[in-house]
Amino acid sequence: MIRTRTFRALSICSSITLLKEECQIIESLLTRNGYPLNLVRRKIKNTIDQFKTTKTQKSPKKTFFVPITYHGHKTILMTNKIKSMIDRIYPMTNVIFGYRKGLSLSKLFIKNYKSTDPMNIGVIYKLTCIKCHKEYIGQTQFDVNHRMNQHKNGLKEEGKSTAADHILNNKDHEINFDRLEILASDNNKKRIEKEKQTVLRI
């Protein structure tokens, strides 16, 4: 009887003041019906405590930890947007973003080009058509051999490589992608100057 009435009070009262008033009504009603005041108060208190505990146990906020690579201030803006979106759609979910430092270019090299000659990385290179002697000058930040494979793959599909397209469009012409000339490398720091002087001739 006391529990039922208190539960009803808990579900209909939107504020603590209202709940207190409602409990006083229950108290006076029950004591008028012969219930001892101490017992009524104790039961009401127990019921409220129990209600509060089950409520917090039922809906704890779920926390997710999301590691993300940090790419400057825009990363923060993006994660803040995601956070507010999640808060709106899933209010019981808490997402914590952990920022990792982005991979530096040197780390990329260590990871992917460990066995590569450093002279092959970050170069300006020249490819020459054996037939018409047209030159193709390109630049790559990564291993130049990898870039040559990209050119070779360009032979399969037009539009992927200007040098490969030259061969595709001129059937008897030929560029040997294994015989390239390295004009400048990252190591001599003249790359930018060379690049400015260089004119694409294809």
132 lies in the binding site for Zn ion (CB under 5 A): yes
**Phi, psi for 47 (deg, rounded to 5):** -65, -45
Nearer to Zn ion, 26 or 127 (CB): 127
Question: What CA–CA distances, in Å, run from 62 to 55, 59, 81, 92?
Answer: 15, 9, 19, 6
Nearer to Zn ion, 173 or 194 (CB): 173
The least distance separating Zn ion from the CB of residue 165, rounded to whole angstroms, comes to 11
The least distance separating Zn ion from the CB of residue 124, rounded to whole angstroms, comes to 20
* Residue 134-163 contact track with Zn ion, rule CB under 5 A, x = bound: x-----------------------------
Among 42, 131, 179, 201, binds Zn ion (CB under 5 A): 131
Helices (H) and strands (E) in the chain, counts: 8, 5
Give, as one character, the DSSP assignment of residue 144.
H
The least distance separating Zn ion from the CB of residue 78, rounded to whole angstroms, comes to 47
Nearer to Zn ion, 148 or 164 (CB): 164
194 lies in the binding site for Zn ion (CB under 5 A): no
Q: Is residue 194 classed exposed, middle or buried when 0-12, 13-18 and 19+ CB atoms within 10 A define those classes? A: middle
Helix, strand, coil % over all residues of the chain, rounded to 5: 55, 20, 25
Pairing mode of beta strands 121-128, 135-143: antiparallel
Amino acid at 72: G
Among 9, 124, 129, 148, binds Zn ion (CB under 5 A): 129
Nearer to Zn ion, 87 or 181 (CB): 181
- Tell me the window of 7-15, 78-86, 153-161, 172-180 that interacts with Zn ion (CB under 5 A): 172-180
Residues that bind Zn ion (CB under 5 A): 129, 131-132, 134, 173
